[in-house]
Amino acid sequence: MRILVLMRQLPDLVEELEISSEGTDIDRELVKFVMNEFDDQALEEALLLKESSGAEVVVVALDEPDVDQALYTAIAKGADRAVKLTGVSNERWMSTHERAAILAPYVEESAADLVLTGVQAADDLDGQLAGVLAGLLGLPHAAVVVGVELKDSTVLVTQELGGGRSVDEEIDLPAVLGLQAARQAPRYAPISKIRQVTQAGGIEEVAAHTPPEASATAISLRRLYVPERSGHAEMLEGTPGEVAERIAEILRSRGLVKG
């Protein structure tokens, strides 16, 4: 049983994003890149499946800024192999369809039984990876997955439907799943272990396939802009005691305080 975990880097949203001079991408010079948090959930689920079934876990990423750090961290957490697909432009926004077209031949050649990735990414403007990739490969798929259990030739999946509803389904392998949350919070790898793994090296570099031009699915991005704030909170200033007093007054004036 081989599980591929498709991971990717994203700008750290804790920091401010600036728009490039062309107006259709973010300024990537000063951005700090971190692993997509949902891919981290996918990795955790894969590691849990490895623990219960002995599956091999292979993490795969395109060559993107600071991706080595993410791949070594994945190995430190327990992934068996890490693969970096090289030779793709990594200094601009890449659409989901392009990303999927680069990954699809690799996934096909890797003879994976199960492909896990994050349910979404903060910049996947043209759709989410699991569905597009499964579409290209003709595989069954499910997104917003919160539970995965391996059987012999199928996988039992729980999908959230929103509003607290969920559905269980059994999907034939191979399949592609977009993870919302692993069954437990993603584990941490000790820094010392990451350092040790990094020193040992071991990221496999594989030349990426050049994707065919896919004009039928290409979107035409006109511009990015910072949203105008339609409204903003009235900010309460002062010491915590003064702010608390103001909030208490607001709640009392609306009859929301009992007693």
Partner 1 sequence: MSNDILVLAEHDGQAVSDITFELLGAARRLASGSGGQVAVALVGGAGLTGTLGAASTVYVVDGTSGAIYSPEVFEKAFLGVLKEADPRLVLTGTSTMGIDVAGALSVAWPAPVVSYVVGLEAEGTELVATSQIYGGKLMAEVAIGGPHAICAVIAGSFPADAGRSDGTPEVREVAVAGLDSARTTPRGVHEPDTSGVDIAAAEVLVSVGRGIGGKENLEVVQELADALGAPLAASRPITDQGWLPKPQQVGKSGKKVKPRAYLAFGISGAPEHLEGMRDAELIIACNTDPNAPIFDVAHYGTTADLFDLAPELAEKLGS
Nearer to partner 1, 78 or 127 (CB): 127
What is the spatial distance between Cα 63 and Cα 87, in angstroms, rounded to a whole number? 8
27 sits near partner 1 (criterion: CB under 8 A): no
11 sits near partner 1 (criterion: CB under 8 A): yes
Report CA 155 to chain centroid distance, whole Å. Answer: 21
9 sits near partner 1 (criterion: CB under 8 A): no
Locate 248 and state its tokens: 């208490």
Binds partner 1 (CB under 8 A): choice among 142, 150, 179, 197? 142
Closest to 56 measured CA to CA, from 2, 137, 93: 2
Q: Phi, psi (5° rounding) for residue 257?
A: -105, 125
Binding span for partner 1 by CB under 8 A among 43-51, 60-68, 78-86, 242-250: 242-250
| Residue 11 CB, nearest approach to partner 1 (Å) | 7
Contact map string, positions 63 to 102, toward partner 1, x by CB under 8 A: ---------------------------------xx-----
What is the spatial distance between Cα 21 and Cα 109, in angstroms, rounded to a whole number? 40
What is the spatial distance between Cα 98 and Cα 217, in angstroms, rounded to a whole number? 9
| Residue 93 CB, nearest approach to partner 1 (Å) | 10
* Partners of 203 in the β-ladder: 82
If binding means CB under 8 A, how many residues of this protein chain bind partner 1? 87
191 sits near partner 1 (criterion: CB under 8 A): no
| Residue 80, burial from CB neighbour count under 10 angstroms (0-12, 13-18, 19+) | middle
Contact map string, positions 95 to 134, toward partner 1, x by CB under 8 A: -xx---------------------xx-xxxxxxxxxxxxx
21 sits near partner 1 (criterion: CB under 8 A): no
Amino acid at 118: G
30 sits near partner 1 (criterion: CB under 8 A): no
